[in-house]
Amino acid sequence: MKADPATLGPLREALAAADYSEARLAERFGIQGALSPDERERPFHLRVLGDARPLSTLVRLFLLALDVGRDEAAAALAPASLESLAAGGLLELGDGGRVCSTLALHPVADLYVASDWEREDRAPERRDHVLGPSAPSRSLVALTPREPVRSALDVGTGCGLQALETARHAPRVVAADVNPRALELTRLNAVLNGLENVETREGSLFDPVEGERFDLVVCNPPYVVSPETAYVFRDSGLPGDSFCEALVRRVPRFLSADGGIGLALVSWVHCTAEDWSAPLRRWVDGSGCDALLIRRHSLDPLAYAAAWNRILALEPDAYEAALARWLAYYEELRVELIGWGAVVLRRGGRGAVTAVDVPGEPESGAGAHVSRLLDAHRLADGALLDTRLALPDDHRIEQALALRNGQATVEQSVLRLVGGLPVEARLDLQALQLVAELDAGRTAREVLSDPEAGLPALRQLVELGLLVPAG
Amino acid sequence: MTELRVDDEAAIVELRRGLDAAGYTVEGIQRALGLDGPFARETAEIPYYLRLLPPGEAISALVKLFLLDVPVPRAEAEEALAVDRAERLGLVEIEADDVRGLVDLVPREELLVASDRFRDDRLPERPDHVYGPTPPTRALASLTVRRPVSRALDLGTGSGTQAILAAAHAERVVGTDVNPRALRFARFNAVANGVSNLDLREGDLFEPVEGERFDLVVCNPPYLVAPSEGYAFRDSGVRGDQFCAELVRRVPEHLTEGGLAHLLVSWTQADEPRRWVEGGGCDAILLRYLTFSPLGHAAQWNRHLLGDPDAYGAALDRWTEWYREQGIGEIVWGAIVLRKRAGRNWFWAGSPPGERVVSADRHVLRILATQDFLATAPELLEERLAAAPDALLALAFHLERRGGAVDRALLRLDGGLGFEVGVDERTIELLRALDGTRALREVAGDAALPVVRRLLELGFVVPA
């Protein structure tokens, strides 16, 4: 594959002209997300696509892995030429005038991201397979604060999605991966999207950037806790969660001393007897960073093994064998629960740690919420009572009211953030009254009859970003 | 293939008792598998389910035999049920040292329903296949008004779920089916569920009940609008919508005055069922649950072919071509409620957001009462009206420097058909003012009439 601007620039033009975007595909064809749709639904999708050129041609070529006629391809890809795309390794021009793509090409927000082909019912063939923009990597994109930074590092860049997103608010981005094929794709994707500030470096994890520091470090590592070593993108080959632990412990050394932020998706093992955050708290203890620990969910070993091997469900024997192998492994390690989520570190704090349960998918505003939750650490406990606090602009209060006998009775009130981290807190009438009074400019000490007793609930709202310093 | 035996009722009763004792119920199975919700089987996930089941427990053997279609060693099966008796009843077969289940035994709420084996990845092999409870079964059951009646009819009873449910509030229930195997399953299920007031009759449509009238008729007919592929449970031999039309036209002559009929139906032209009920002497509520394009409908009904792309593609083409020939542009699926009533009849259509499994019979009764009320053409402004006691307002708002702003306000009912309407602040004020003590005129003017009428129709406001 060649990352040649003279070839990929015109391709970008063609994709943009056809409005090859997530929104357009969802609207026109009901195709959700940019990942390849269920392969088995192909006969249905083909009939839905019909003959709506050039969009249907692009979907066939780049999402469904189908070949199309040479003339049809040429028309859809102009001004890019088939010959130059073939010379660059993206297209194969077959006998009989058919054209197919060697890579999948996913529209993601306003980016185009090439990756290896994958099917939801079949495990990838090559060990150095480069995964496309997966749901976890999209949630890492959403979680990352997008304030301008001087430099950024994407560790284990894969198809380069994090690096591309970061390149829009950092003048210099280093994308590192142990898999040279991943770096090839990252370079191709950078050029395809007209981004010139992404530098690729080959090596394991942080090895290629030893001694350097960055304002922002993002990492979607092979965090899966499993006995497997089949794929670079999934399997670290290290026992239990020791890979994630070592990774998290290593991040601070690469963060700028003046507030550098690091985010890593992680899986960790925890027991039913302790809080889910206990192991993560040990990992970040003494890091010299403030930490935000985000949990999406915890699964028991069987549910976790089933979730990661569902791709095999159409081959009962292989599925059966994988479940047996994974469960034996967990048994040996005495694993009770496996958590999944993210660790966010910010250097230069006083070692404050917040743990938040976030069961839903983060939306695009989550990065700003992550910053806000880190900032909340700066509000010392005692000062909270005298600090002017307000509801953030992106709050919503949702109430269920029963209408009886001319009365509207509030049955439940929930305060939540919208458009980012899906965090929420139930409010009783007293708490609702309190936030309204705070929002109107009074302090908690002025409003609460017993301020000290009200402090824990108040602190929780601040830690969740549901109350912010006024101003 | 062994057939179900239904002559030894004592054996069926004993079997049910044993299954209950082993915890073979909706909750028991859910607990054994450690699930958050009711168990819904996917064939491809069987290796996963097998590991969820607690080893050595009776319930695990029963789930394997009657839900997963996985053979169980004889010794293990004996721990869970009397194998010889189950074999005599035609529920299992014994092969060497293994016992294999021959039917699905599916707990549904309080019921236990036996039916032919179902797989999500292939169509049944025999044309007289008998289905167990499906999502439409539950949609119909949730819609059915559960008031005490003298005589009820379940037309095309299949494995008998609707008839058994009706037996709890009808003195006498007649269940009919053209498929004798279905009647055998229905008989088995009646006994297994302690129902003794069910009269099962073989025959086509109304044939077995010629000249008889009922206070309640329920029917989950072969409503599928598709090229015929020869299954008794699905294809009637005529187009599903035409079959429904015929059915709806003929139901009234079997209803007593005030009697109710609940039928699942399909149709292909906007509110076409309005014509089906004309002249039948019935009031009618038409519920539109789902609307499909021809291609979407073909895909929905051929999902069992997903593993075979060529067959799937060919089926999509065959079906869409047939829709084109028939001039069908869309297929609507829903339900119709009829009530026999002398006098000038009304017709009302609504579009609930998909079929629901929560009980909606109170809501159906409310719509009947409200339409009766509106049909008397009252001066609404002079009437005393009230917000329904089960109306809920879901409000989302945010606070701003000066006051707050409402982002979304939705009215819902606690339970029922699931209608939702967005309301503005004036309507919210009006709803609070409607406390049933004053005439509408005292709290609103002419301008509010369309909104009030709509809220009445959907059941959010009721005559006081």
Q: CA torsion sign, B241 to B243 to B249 to B253?
A: negative
Among B389, B391, B396, select the one facing A396 at the smallest CB separation: B396
Looking at residues A449-465, what average pLDDT do you find? 92
- The rounded mean pLDDT for chain A is 91
Q: Kindly indicate the confidence band of residue A40, based on its pLDDT and cuts at 50, 70 and 90.
A: confident
By Cβ distance, the residue of B47, B396, B404 closest to A398 is B396
Contact between B203 and B226 (Cβ < 8 Å): no
Q: How far apart are the first and last CA of chain B?
A: 61
Secondary structure letter of residue B226 according to DSSP? S
Low-confidence residues of chain B: pLDDT under 70: 1-2, 230-236
Phi/psi at A102 (nearest 5 deg)? -80, -15
User: Are B308 and B371 members of one domain?
Assistant: yes
Q: Which residues pair with B164 in a beta bridge?
A: none
Pairing relation of β-strands B391-399 and A395-404? antiparallel
Answer yes or no: is pLDDT of A214 > 90: yes
Taking 90 as the threshold, does the pLDDT of residue A78 lie above it?
A: yes
In the structure encoding, which two tokens stand for residue A96, read together? 């009989």
Whose tokens are 């940019």? That residue is A34
The answer to whether B464 and B380 are in contact (CB under 8 A) is no
Q: Do A316 and B48 touch (CB under 8 A)?
A: no
Identify the burial level of A171 via C-beta atoms within 10 angstroms of its C-beta, where 0-12 means exposed, 13-18 middle and 19 or more buried: exposed
Quote the pLDDT of residue B403.
74
A44 chain-B contacts, CB cut-off 8 A: 295, 299, 312, 316
> According to the 3-state scheme, what is the secondary structure of A237-293?
CCCCCHHHHHHHHHHHHHECCCCCEEEEEEEEEECCCCCCCHHHHHHHCCCCEEEEE
What interface predicted TM-score (ipTM) does this complex get? Answer: 0.82
Q: Residue B117 domain-assigned?
A: no
Nearest to B431 among A314, A403, A436 (CB): A403
Q: Which of residues 18-47 of B touch A (CB under 8 A)?
A: 34, 44-47
CATH topology of domain A123-300+336-378: Rossmann fold (3.40.50)
Q: Residue B382: in which H helix or E strand, if any?
A: none
pLDDT score recorded for residue A35: 44
Number of domains, chain B: 3
> What pLDDT is attached to residue B72?
96
**Predicted local confidence at residue B453, as pLDDT:** 95
B34 with B142, same domain: the answer is: no
Q: Which residues in chain B are closer than 8 Å to A404, comparing Cβ atoms?
A: 387, 389
Q: What is the DSSP letter of A41?
A: G
Q: What is the full DSSP assignment across A79-145?
A: TS-HHHHHHTTSEEE-GGGEEEESSEEEEETTEEEEE---BTTB--S-TT----S-HHHHHHHHHS-
Residue B51 included in any domain: yes
Neighbours of B34 (CB within 10 A): 12
Asked whether residue B128 is domain-assigned, the answer is: no
**pLDDT tens digits along A262-306:** 999 999 999 999 999 999 999 999 999 999 999 999 999 999 999
**Is B49 among the domain residues?**
yes
Q: Is B286 on the interface with A (CB under 8 A)?
A: no
**pLDDT score for B230:** 64
DSSP secondary-structure letter at B102?
-
Q: Quote the pLDDT of residue A31.
A: 65
Residues B142 and B257 in one domain: yes
Q: Report the CATH number that the domain containing residue B180 is assigned in CATH.
A: 3.40.50.150
Helices then strands, counting H and E runs in chain A, come out as 18, 18
| B363's tokens | 């809501």
Cis peptide before A362 (omega within 30 of 0): no
Size of interface A-B (CB pairs under 8 A): 102
Residue B123 forms part of a structural domain: no
The DSSP H or E segment spanning B248 is helix B240-250
Closest to B392 (Cβ–Cβ): which among A300, A320, A401?
Answer: A401
**Of the candidates B219, B194, B222, B195, which has an alpha carbon nearest to the alpha carbon of residue B209?**
B219
Inter-chain residue contact B47 with A397, CB threshold 8 Å: no
Determine, for residues B312 and A47 on separate chains, whether the beta-carbon distance falls below 8 Å: no
Sheet holding A98-101, edge to edge: A68-69, A98-101, A91-93
pLDDT digits (tens, 9 = 90+) for A150-195: 999 999 999 999 999 999 999 999 999 999 999 999 999 999 999 9
Instruction: Give the whole-angstrom CA distance, residue B344 versus residue B334.
Output: 25
Interfacial residues of A (vs B; Cβ cutoff 8 Å): 38, 40-44, 46-48, 300, 302, 306, 313-314, 316, 319-320, 323, 327, 391, 395-408, 411, 435-436, 439
B408 and B285 belong to one structural domain: no
Mark whether B167 and B235 lie in a shared domain.
yes
Q: Is residue B108 part of a domain?
A: no
Q: Read off the DSSP letter of residue B379.
A: -
Three-class HEC string of B39-61 = CCCCHHHHHHHHHHCCCCCHHHH
From chain A, the residues in CB contact with B394 under 8 A are 398-401
Do B77 and B183 belong together in one domain? no
- What is the reported pLDDT for A435? 94
Are B390 and B369 in the same domain?
no
Q: Which domain range does residue B50 map to?
A: 9-102
Touching check for B295 and chain A: CB below 8 Å?
yes
Q: Give me the sheet containing B461-463, strands edge to edge.
A: B435-439, B384-387, B461-463
Instruction: Give B320's contacts in chain A (Cβ within 8 Å).
Output: 47
Q: Tell the burial category of A286 from Cβ atoms under 10 Å away from its Cβ (0-12, 13-18, 19+).
A: exposed
Q: Are residues B263 and B370 located together in one domain of the fold?
A: yes
Pair (B228, B324) in one structural domain: yes
Q: Which residues contact B341 (CB under 8 A, 6 or more apart)?
A: B257, B258, B281, B282, B283
- Find out whether A218 and A153 touch, Cβ atoms under 8 Å: yes
What secondary structure letter does DSSP report for A51?
A: T
Both tokens of A270, joined, read 């925890």
The domain ranges of chain A are 5-104, 123-300+336-378, 381-469
- B52–A302 C-beta distance less than 8 A: yes
Residues B48, A323: C-beta atoms closer than 8 Å: yes
| Exposure of A273 in the CB half-sphere (CA atoms within 13 A) | 1
Return the closest-CA partner of residue B297 out of B320, B272, B318: B320
Cβ separation A44–B295 shorter than 8 A: yes
pLDDT of amino acid B17: 95
CB A177, CB A156: distance < 8 Å = yes
Measured CA to CA, the distance from residue B266 to residue B275 in angstroms comes to 14
CA B389 centroid distance within chain: 26
Answer whether B399 sits within 8 Å of A395, measured CB to CB.
yes
Same domain, B249 and B356: yes
- Sorted by sequence, the CB contacts under 8 Å of residue B103 that are 6+ apart come out as B4, B66, B90, B91, B114, B115, B116, B117
* Co-location of B241 and B389 in the same domain: no
DSSP state of B36: S
Q: Examine residue B114 and state whether it is found in any structural domain, yes or no.
A: no
Hey, what are A149's tokens? 């930074």
Tens of pLDDT, residue by residue over A383-432, are 899 999 999 999 999 999 998 777 888 989 999 999 999 999 999 988 99
Give A398's contacts in chain B (Cβ within 8 Å): 394-396
The candidate with the shortest Cα–Cα distance to B412, out of B347, B352, B369, is B352
pLDDT number for residue A239: 83
Q: Name every chain A residue with its beta carbon within 8 A of the beta carbon of B415.
A: none
The upper half-sphere exposure of residue A142, i.e. CA atoms within 13 Å in the direction of its Cβ, equals 21
Residue B345 in any domain: the answer is yes
